[in-house]
């Protein structure tokens, strides 16, 4: 069941250890009405594909995989129920989490922000792993037209069509959060205009192999 997706979870999980302290991050890949997700309480390189839990989108039921799924699975399932996305990455990466505890959105201080939208909003706090938290995340992302958001006093969530993009975008948001927070030492930085961002979006659409 979901063999390719479970292999992708094993391959990509180590990327989380560069981003998030301890074992606090998690990621998932969707295939129709199910998704493969990192297991709870094990190092990111401490499991193989047969351990990777497979969970049903509809109710978060654990269908396969030798290990128990991440405690934040209800949030993943609830985002998949609301959004047609292929992968989710969640971290407590330090710079993004600093934005989250300041309850401050990330403005367009650098053109790379268009990887996720024109800004990164802040979703209202709710206890981890709850449907309420997922609703707040989806609401913030939809309102801001962004594929990333900070969660108040918690961390970062990024959605994408696939896992590679979700991880790459989580790294972009972490890096841009750091640049923004560092730049505040000299006062509030200048941001890019909507027109400047639109030009970058057009270029990105024609970029690639």
**DSSP classification of residue 68:** P
Question: Residue 37 in contact with residue 53, Cβ under 8 Å?
Answer: yes
Shortest Å, Cβ 40 to Zn ion:
12
Tally of CB atoms within 10 A around 209: 2
Shortest Å, Cβ 193 to Zn ion:
34
Shortest Å, Cβ 128 to Zn ion:
5
Question: Residue 136 in contact with residue 60, Cβ under 8 Å?
Answer: no
Residue 72 among the catalytic residues = yes
Distance CA 205, CA 3 (A): 31
In the set 72, 83, 168, 195, the catalytic residue is: 72
Shortest Å, Cβ 175 to Zn ion:
19
Report the sign of the C-alpha dihedral through residues 40, 42, 43, 49, in that order.
negative
Q: Report the residue number, 110 or 154, with the smaller CB distance to Zn ion.
A: 154
Selection from 157, 146, 162 nearest residue 197 by Cα: 146
For 48, the 3-state DSSP assignment is: coil
Q: Report the residue number, 22 or 187, with the smaller CB distance to Zn ion.
A: 22
Q: Report the residue number, 173 or 192, with the smaller CB distance to Zn ion.
A: 173
Give the CB-nearest residue to Zn ion: 155
| Structure tokens, 2 | 């979901």
Distance CA 175, CA 171 (A): 6
Distance CA 36, CA 8 (A): 9
Binding residues for Zn ion, rule: CB under 5 A, are 155
Q: Report the residue number, 36 or 156, with the smaller CB distance to Zn ion.
A: 156
Write out the catalytic residue numbers. Answer: 72
């Amino acid at each position: 069941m979901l063999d390719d997706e479970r292999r992708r979870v094993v391959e990509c999980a180590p990327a989380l250890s560069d981003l998030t302290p301890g074992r606090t991050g998690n990621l998932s890949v969707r295939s129709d009405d199910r998704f493969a997700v990192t297991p709870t309480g094990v190092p990111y390189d401490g499991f193989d594909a047969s351990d990777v839990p497979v969970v049903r989108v509809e109710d978060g039921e654990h269908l396969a995989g030798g290990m128990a799924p991440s405690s934040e699975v209800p949030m993943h399932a609830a985002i998949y129920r609301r959004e047609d996305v292929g992968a989710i990455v969640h971290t407590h990466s330090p710079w993004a989490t600093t934005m989250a505890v300041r309850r401050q959105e990330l403005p367009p201080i650098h053109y790379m922000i268009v990887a996720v939208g024109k800004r990164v909003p802040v979703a209202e706090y709710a206890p981890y792993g709850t449907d309420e938290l997922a609703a707040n995340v989806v609401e913030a992302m939809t309102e801001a037209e962004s594929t990333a958001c900070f969660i108040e006093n918690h961390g970062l969530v990024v959605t994408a069509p696939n896992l590679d993009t979700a991880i790459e975008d989580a790294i972009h948001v972490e890096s841009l959060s750091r640049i923004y927070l560092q730049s505040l030492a000299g006062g509030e930085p200048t941001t890019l205009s909507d027109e400047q961002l639109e030009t970058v979006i057009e270029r990105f659409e024609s970029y690639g192999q």
